[in-house]
Structure 1
Amino acid sequence: MLLHIIARGKIGRSSEADLTDRYLQRIQWKTKVTELPDTGGNIPDPIGTPVRSVVLDERGKAMRSKDFARKLERWRDEGVRETRFLIGAADGHEAETISSADLLFSFGPATWPHMMCRAMLAEQLFRATAILAGHPYHREGPR
């Protein structure tokens, strides 16, 4: 399954870009990043079908890393070819994008800079795939 980050704004050469790249390079699954302008621009056509859409939004569902990993695992096992992770610009997403999402995902109620969200998402994607591979990267603390 392709993990495809579609993000508004250009990250350029920055510490956030370096951190994002560091995590994406560790992922054993296929990954892709598409940058769109802050407004306008077309979301690219899917690589294959079926496709799932995850929209990052502060009103979305906060998930434990293991639960996020299991969701990706379920989609992969159902034959999903591409999971898209949409990161909006400063003004968020259009209503149509939110309403068509398979999952509204949140890093909590705080507002995060969209460039930082890329790095946080890349880390969570690495963590999820590491969990599914049985890799010791993820250590769950006491509950």
Structure 2
Amino acid sequence: MTELTLSAIVSKRSRAKSDEFQALTDRYLARAAHYMPAQALNFESEDALSAWIAKAPGRAAAHAILFDPRGKTLTSDEFAHTLGRLRDDGAQRIVFAIGPADGWSDQARTRAAALVSFGRITLPHELARVVAAEQIYRALTILAGHPYHLGH
């Protein structure tokens, strides 16, 4: 079964300052877990995330989807299709990652399975996590044929 991880590069001083944002992120990931295992992890550097993606103990390397302003802006259906394609192709681990404040390195962008953009706006890190978690949940409901995505 495919396992999802929503990760973020966050320095210690930038860790979640708002319980409300964290509660929303947790709520959407808990809902997503009804469709496939989902978790959230923070990393202090791109290198730490890259090492975890490459080889978590006893697990296959993960497919990384990086949220990046240079990425493709997708509709929710297109985002669901991207997730579904990886799942159907047998990906064991999919990591959705929100990058550091100064953006992803060229090396990270090259290694990524996909680059996805939230558009040309800049979001605070905590809000980007909520948006990503909701879109992951929405994508899973689309793939399952659940009506959540209709009218929400």
Distance in 1, matches of 2:64 and 2:133, equals 16
Q: Secondary structure at the match of 1:56?
A: strand
Residue 35 in structure 1 maps to residue 15 in structure 2: no
Q: TM-score, normalised by structure 1?
A: 0.88
Distance in 2, matches of 1:85 and 1:11, equals 18
Larger deviation, residues 117-126 vs 1-10: 1-10
Residue in 2 that maps onto 1:18: 23
Residue in 1 that maps onto 2:92: 81
Q: What's the CA shift string for 1:109-142, capped at 9, x where partnerless?
A: 111112111100000000000111111101269x
Q: Secondary structure at the match of 1:79?
A: coil
Q: TM-score, normalised by structure 2?
A: 0.83
Q: Secondary structure at the match of 2:129?
A: helix
Unaligned runs of 5+ in 2: none
Q: What's the CA shift string for 1:15-55, capped at 9, x where partnerless?
A: 11111011111112101211112x46612134633631101
Which of structure 1's runs of 4+ aligned residues deviate more than 3 A? none
When you count helix as a share of all residues, which structure comes out higher?
2
CA contact (8 A) 2:46 2:99 kept: no
User: What value does the CA root-mean-square deviation take over the aligned residues?
Assistant: 1.9
Q: Secondary structure at the match of 1:137?
A: helix
Residue in 1 that maps onto 2:111: 100
Unaligned runs of 5+ in 1: none
Distance in 2, matches of 1:102 and 1:51, equals 9
Query: Which aligned pairs between 1:1-143 and structure 2 lie closer than 5 A?
Result: 1-9=2-10, 10-11=15-16, 13-27=18-32, 28=34, 29-37=36-44, 39=45, 42-43=48-49, 44=52, 45-46=55-56, 48-49=59-60, 51-139=62-150
In the comparison of the two structures, how many residue pairs are matched? Answer: 140
Larger deviation, residues 5-14 vs 89-98: 5-14
